[in-house]
Every structure is written in C-alpha cells, then in structure tokens.
Chains A and B, each alone.
Chain A
Amino acid sequence: MNTLEKLEILADAAKYDASCASSGGARKDSTAGKGVGSTGGAGICHSYAPDGRCISLLKVLLTNVCLYDCHYCINRRSSNVQRARFTPEEVVELTLSFYKRNYIEGLFLSSGIVRSADYTMELVIRVAKLLREKHHFRGYIHLKTIPEASPELIAEAGKYADRLSINVELPKQESLKKLAPEKNVHRTREAMSTINARITETIADRKELRKRKSKAKKPTFATGQSTQMIVGADGSYDSDFLARAGDLYGNFKLRRVYYSAFSPIPEPSVILPLKSPPLVREHRLYQADWLMRFYHYGVDELTSAESPNLDLDIDPKLSWALRNRHTFPIDVNRSPLEMLYRIPGLGVRNAKRIVRLRRHHAVTLEDLIKLRVNLKKTMPFMICTNHHPARLELSSSELRAKFAPPPTQLEMDFTAQPVTTTVEKNMVKQAGVEALHGEF
C-alpha cells in the first residue's frame, strides 16, 4: 500500500473527531532552531472542506486496527473497513511536508488500540518525540490519550504535545456500557484529573523559575486538554450532555468540549442503526456550551427537569429569556454587565462596548444601531434611553412564534427530500454565528 492509499484510509478514519483547535499553545517558533514551526497566537484554519469544517491540523490515525468495539465508530473491531498502518516515520514525514507548504498548523494524532493501551500510547508518543527532538518541529501537536495508559506515558505525551485529549464519547456510563463496552467514564475522569494536575503543576513550576530568574530549562507540558461527545447515538438528554460538560469544565478545566452529531458511517453496526446526523441539536449544544463558558449561565439554567432537551427552534439564550420574563426588560444604561449578557441578541463584545459607552453618554437606540446590535431580537427585552417596551407587551409564546422558524425546516433528513436551500441557509446562519464570533 502506498502513502496516498494509507493516508486516504487513515484520514477517513479520523474525520469523526470534531476537534480542530490549534490555538492556545505555548509561544514558540523556529527562529533559533533548525526546523520549522510556530505556535502561540490564534490558531489558523488553512482550509475548509465542503462540510463547513475547518482544516487546521493533519488529522490522522496511526492505525485503524482496533481491539475495541465502539458501535458508533468505523474503526471498531466488528467493522470490515480496510485496515492500514503508518509507521511513526511516515507520519513525521507527512506532517513536515504538509507544514512546509503551509497546508496545516500541525498534527492531530490518534490511533486505534493495538495490543494494549501502553503499547499504542508509546507509538503515538514516538511520532511526537521524533518531530520535536529530531526535526525541531515547533508547530502544533495534539495527541489523543488513552485513559488506561500508564501515568508515565501520559506525562511523556504531554511533554511533546500542545494539547491532549481523551474523548468521553457519551455522557453516561450506562450508554458506554452498551455502545462502547471497553470505555469507562470513571477511568476517563481519573486520567483527565491527572492531566489537569500536570498542567497546573507545570504552569506553577515555570512561574517559579521565571520569578527566580533561573536559567534552568523550563519544564514543558501541554497547555490544555479537550474532549468530545457524540450526540444522537444514545438516548441521553441534552441535560446529560451539559451536565457532563459542566463537570469536565469545572473539575478538570477543559479548554473545549466538542459535540459531534452521530453521522452515518459506511460500516453500520447491528447495535446502532444509522440516522441522519442531528445537526441542529449539535448546534444548540454548542450554543448552550458557549453560554456556560462565556455568559456565566449555570448548567441547570439551560434545561429543566420537565424539558431536559434544548429547544431546537430557538437558541438557548432566547429560550431562557422566555422562561424568565420577570427578569426583563433589562436597562442597558443601569444594569450590571452580567445582566446585559442575558439579553437575547446581545453578545459579549457588544455588552462590554455598551458598558464603556455609557460612561460617555446615555445609550440610545441609534448607538445600538451603530454597534450593529440585532435590534429585532433585543428590543422586547431591553430598555435604553429612547426605547421602553411595555413589560409584557407580547406574551412569551407570541415572542417565541416571532423568532422560531417554520417547524418543517428543522432537521436534514436523508431518507426524505434532498436538502433544500432554505434549510441549508438556516443552518449556515446559525452555524456561522457560532463559528465567527459566538454572539447570539
């Protein structure tokens, strides 16, 4: 099998992992070295595939041979997919050639589990070590970590990587037991805890050395960890996903939790029949996640016991506002910043701008237009100098009807009509908000 054939199999095998971040690495570059590479600024998306996802890293598996039998996964042992295996040297060569042509920011390496967790982890580490030590590569490296690998190996992986990740895959242990019998939430959390401790420790050690102006070589370790959950493969509610995300952000300071709609694979499992990917649901989860991380929403504010799933028709911020009408309208000239964050249609950036602006003069509708605030959405929920909505001018259900799309445009359904342009436009409009600035 030649390199191209292997690459096609092992990239195809890796594409269901949504993580693409290449930002937040420690500042380093190739100025003093013999190699190439730099990280430390914002990550760069070097290309986009027609699925709208960015291509920023060479995302491949070392091998798609796997002992595990995760039913959502194309590489599980029960799948008849063609198997291939890269040598560590081949991955190194590919990474460097792609990097030098400015196709990528670095490497995202994962692997099927062969022989044992430690054996596999050692192979993955070997690639990173060769890149860093033999080729002086200063680009971004993201390594997939196996929770059952020995702590020494996880520590070594972290030494070479900018980011480590372990996918929890599903929010609850009972789902894993059914769909990914070799995986375990408890062990994953333990490993995340170890990684988090290492990250914190390294930051402290480096700070200490800087403080003492020591010339000793500073320890290096990945600057962050992330994870992914598959949406729509099991019966978990959105509240389960968000609770798990809240758990991981809170306890282990994860940089990102990715949500990946369970998407058809060419090798369906008898345990898990294929469906169209729930893209809208995935998008709503990202929005809710965004609210937790940047808008100070609590996990339990986003869903409720009566409706454990997010509203698919309207975004979770608007949905919260409609459930909490007593909080509104909020006066943008008097309320604290955290309250401005609650106004539907007003993003973090504009909320901060308003706070700065109101030191100069009372904020008017004209000001908001200049700031390009989405007035249609914000007006029923806020007060400014020349705008004062009557308290319950429109009922929550009337407001909901105003913003919700006609119900037929919701899910992409492969079994029915081909995707219409209206549906797509809708999705892009929503997805664009998330990808570009996360304001809604």
Chain B
Amino acid sequence: MKTISIEPHFQAWRNAARALLAEQCHPSDVLWSAKNDEGDGLLFADELPVLPPDAPRLKVPKTFVRLAETVAAHRSGKQWALLYQILWEMSCGNDRRILSNQTDSRLRTLERMRATVSRDIHKMRAFVRFREVKTEQSDKENFVAWFEPDHLIVRINTPFFRKRFAGMNWSILTPDECVHWDGSRITYTDGVEKSVAPDSDELEELWLGYYRSIFNPARLKIKMMQTEMPKKYWKNLPEAEIIEELITGSGEQVQAMMHEQERPLKPVPRNAYLAKLNEMDAIDEPDTESD
C-alpha cells in the first residue's frame, strides 16, 4: 500500500498518476491524500514515484482530461482515487469505452462532482460583486471583490475575469487565495479574511434602486429565486438586503393596483408619424394574415 500526497490541483495529480501507472501500481494499492495547510497527509506519505524517462506516452480521451481538470477543484479530496481508478481501467484494464458507460458508479460520482464544481464556477462568475477603491496614483479604476467559493475554483475562473475585465484593475479576494490583475499581469496571493475587502460602493444605491424597480410584485416566486440564488450567497450580495422588504410589501402593492380606477382613453395626438401608420394600416389590411 502506497500513500500518495499531492498538492490539490490537476497537474500534481496527473504527474503522480502517470508515475504510478508506469509502475503498474493497482488502484487498490494507493491511498490518495491532498496536502492541506496543516501539512498532515505529508506525515505518513510515501515518496512519489519518479516517472521513468522512457515511459510510454499515455493517451487518454480529451473528455477524460476535461473531467479531471474540473473535478480536481472539488474540496472533498475524494476525486483523486476515483480518477485513478478510471485511468487504470482505461489503460491497464483496456476498457477504453468506460467513459461512455453512463451507469458506472464511479463515473456517476465523478460526474456529480463535476456538476457541483461547475455550478460553483458559474455562481462565482455571477455573484462576484466588485467595489471601487479610489486610489490617487493610478489613472485606471481599481475594483476589489470578496467571494467565498465552495470549491478551489479561483484559478479555473481567472481567465474568465481577465478576459472580461481587461480594461480595469481588479482583485478578487477569497479565503483560499486571492487573484489580482493590473492590466498586464495576473498574480496570486494567499487567502485573506473578509475584513480586508471594501464594504461599500456608492453605485450600490443605484443598483438597489434598479433591483427594486425591476421586481414585479404581482408574480411572487420566492422559492424559484432561492433555487437559483441560495441564501448562502446573500451575505455577499448588496441587493439581498432589500429582498425581505420587497416580499413583505408586494401584497399591498398588488392590492393597490387591483383597486385602481381604470383610466379613460386620451385622444390621439396630432402627429405626422401616427397619421402615416394609419395609412399603412389601410394598405396592410387586405392580407394581414398572409402567412
């Protein structure tokens, strides 16, 4: 039995897995653990096998690489052993079709992990809220956001934010690690606490005003909102502070509308364009249903 301890990212797992495979190390003989901050897992770890230079090149389907890259971000650490089992089946077990076997329980677990991580990636793109930080020296605008991802997805999401916000300086701070863009370069620093992040932005008054006005009180669907925007995100969303107020006030708003006096028609104003529309109607009339 080998205990393999790796950094919790895809590259580290791939290097270890290739070396283990070169030694024909069976999945049941490997115990995977990812290094974390406290350094345990290291304690009893075996030395990582070295990939012999003449090891044959290992070819796996692209879909597997993509799956592995995504589930690598899962915080549980349970993905490493499962990935190695599948890799083993494909290479040593010679079952190259395993990936299309939708009911293989290990693949199902990995697929579920992928869905969870993908959702987290997506929700980070949606719910990061930048706040402007005024500095004197820079001619560019500076923005800082605080976000608490469920999984280790900061690096996966970096290209997205870099491409989208190339024209401004920004940082996204998280408890795991922080990413910064200065207009030319991405850098990473250690995770921080929320108190480091700015706690307001003057634009938020407008954003809340917009959120209040775009809400239609006549179609309250609170659960629907919560399925897509679960409460765990609310603490970092400025607009969430008025949700309660909007819900409470909605019934009254609707009642007021329903009891409103119906408005009489106003006369057609004198306008050349409206007159032209009238003429066009007369022409269109004969074949309005030409389809």
Contacts and interface: CB of A to CB of B under 8 A. Distances in A.
Counting chain B CB atoms within 10 Å of each CB, the highest count among A47, A360, A432, A436 belongs to A47
Contact of A7 (B101, B209, B216, B280): B209
B59 interface: no
A371 B101 CA distance: 11
Interface string A98-112: 101111000000000
Interface stretch (B25-33, B48-56, B74-82, B248-256): B248-256
A42 B219 CA distance: 26
B206 A270 contact: no
B195 interface: no
A264 B258 contact: yes
Contacts of A33: 166-167
Given A79-B263, A100-B165, A50 B206 contact: no
A265 B125 CA distance: 34
B283 to A, nearest CB: 9
Contacts of B105: 370
Interface stretch (A180-188, A300-308, A377-385, A392-400): A180-188
Interface in A165-181: 173
Interface residues of B, number: 86
Interface string B112-142: 0000000000100111111110000000010
A45 B126 CA distance: 6
Interface of B: 97, 100-103, 105, 108, 122, 125-132, 141, 143, 145, 160, 162-168, 201, 203, 205-207, 209-225, 227-229, 237, 239, 243, 246-247, 250-251, 254-258, 260-266, 268-269, 271-274, 277, 280-281, 284, 287-291
B172 to A, nearest CB: 10
A337 interface: no
A173 B288 contact: yes
A247 B290 CA distance: 11
Given A271-B265, A414-B258, A36 B210 contact: no
Given A51-B216, A187-B280, A117 B257 contact: no
Contacts of A54: 228
Contacts of A295: none
A49 B274 contact: no
Contacts of A115: 271, 273
Interface of A: 3-4, 7-9, 11-12, 14-16, 29-38, 42, 44-55, 58-59, 67, 69, 77-80, 94, 97-98, 100-103, 113, 115-117, 136, 148, 173, 182, 184-187, 189, 247, 251, 261, 263-271, 273-274, 276-277, 279, 353, 356-357, 359-360, 366-367, 370-371, 414-415, 418-419, 424-425, 427-428, 431-432, 435-436
Contacts of B250: 50
10 contacts: A4-B206, A7-B206, A14-B214, A30-B164, A30-B166, A30-B167, A78-B266, A100-B141, A115-B271, A189-B290
A98 B132 CA distance: 11
A155 B81 CA distance: 56
A428 B263 contact: no
A51 B277 contact: no
Contacts, number: 257
Interface pairs A-B: 3 shortest CB-CB: A52-B224, A52-B221, A116-B273
A130 B273 CA distance: 27
A312 to B, nearest CB: 17
Given A270-B265, A353-B102, A101 B220 contact: no
Nearest to B251: A418
A415 B218 CA distance: 12
Given A101-B130, A184-B280, A371-B103, A4 B207 contact: no
A148 B277 contact: yes
A279 to B, nearest CB: 6
A55 B129 CA distance: 14
Nearest to B288: A173
Given A8-B210, A189-B291, A367-B103, 16 more contacts: A4-B206, A7-B210, A11-B210, A30-B166, A47-B211, A49-B214, A67-B271, A69-B265, A100-B130, A102-B145, A270-B264, A274-B260, A279-B219, A357-B103, A432-B224, A436-B227
